[in-house]
Amino acid sequence: MTRTRVAVIGSGNIGTDLMIKVLRLSEHLQMAAMVGIDPDSDGLARAQRLGVPVTAAGVRGLIAMPGFDEIDIVFDATSAGAHRANAAALEPYGKFLIDLTPAAVGPFVVPAVNLDDHRDARNVNMVTCGGQATIPIVAAIAGVVEVAYAEIVASIASKSAGPGTRANIDEFTETTSAAIRDVGGARRGRAIIVLNPAEPPLIMRDTVLALVHDPAGAAAARIDRAVREMVDSVAAYVPGYRLKQQIQITPIPPDSPVHTLTGGEPVTHQVSVFLEVEGAAHYLPAYAGNLDIMTSAAMRVAEQIASTREHIR
């Protein structure tokens, strides 16, 4: 079987973890290049030890590498600003770009929700770690009953938030909020990220709060079932993804001022879902589930694209 050749731009934590996942786990992908801008980075040094071709000259160095024409898929694990420049530089070459930054140049993709909708796109955006963890839950709820408002809180270990994550905090909240609406199906959405400085570092926790309109209270069992089925779907490619406790569906008191969140749209119940994401520890510590879910979701997209292309061949 001929594997699809891929490159990773970004030799930091996310890019290095992604490279190791491709080398260890992939059935359809072959690492063809690791790209960075710091010649002394651990990611580039590790890639060299593993026999992966490297360049420290960024995207221009990638384009100049022997074998560049044979690369079909490029993962970008840099930053929102860098991805815009990288996408522009690579656009003439017809590569399939998987963007792990909050740049949102291409359509949002959450594999468990809408991967099939964007197989023909040339640049797909993996939203954010919080988005990958919570948007499937919002979509599951929205598949049963209308969601007037959804709010997600992603709490990650401070140690797992590198310079790129910290530089992209504003983009994180804006991109995730937009994807809660566009992919999750909520009418309104809000995202909050918490960098938890606790020692020892805590595993990623995510909370989804959805305000729904179910006057008769008849949808509770279907919501519970839909959420549990979605958790299983995500866990198929992120093994450390799980419910932390029972799903809570509670009536909203008549005097609760939720109209400030829903814009006056009527709601009757709050759905609360509490999640935990433990990393696979391929390169990153197990507490860095926020990074693991991003690389796992990106791998899922690339595997599906590669398997489709192999079938066509």
In angstroms, the Cα distances linking 69 to 32, 77, 229, 246 are 11, 21, 41, 50
What the block records as the tokens of 184 is 């999750």
Residue 255 has a CB neighbour count (10 Å cut-off) of 5
Q: Determine the residue type at 145.
A: V
The pairing of beta strand 204-212 with beta strand 269-277: antiparallel
d(CA 298, CA 284): 16
Look up tokens 């991003």; give the residue: 294
What the block records as the tokens of 285 is 């510590």
Cis amide leading into 102 (omega within 30): no
Closest CA to 129 of 98, 88, 97, 161: 161
Start-to-end CA distance of the chain, whole Å, equals 11
Q: What are the catalytic residues?
A: 129
267 near 258, Cβ under 8 Å? yes
**Which residues, at least 6 apart from 10, have a Cβ–Cβ distance to it below 8 Å?**
35, 36, 43, 75, 76, 77, 78, 100, 164
Element (H, E) at 230: helix 220-235
Ramachandran area for residue 213 (φ above 0: left; ψ -120 to 50: alpha; else beta): beta
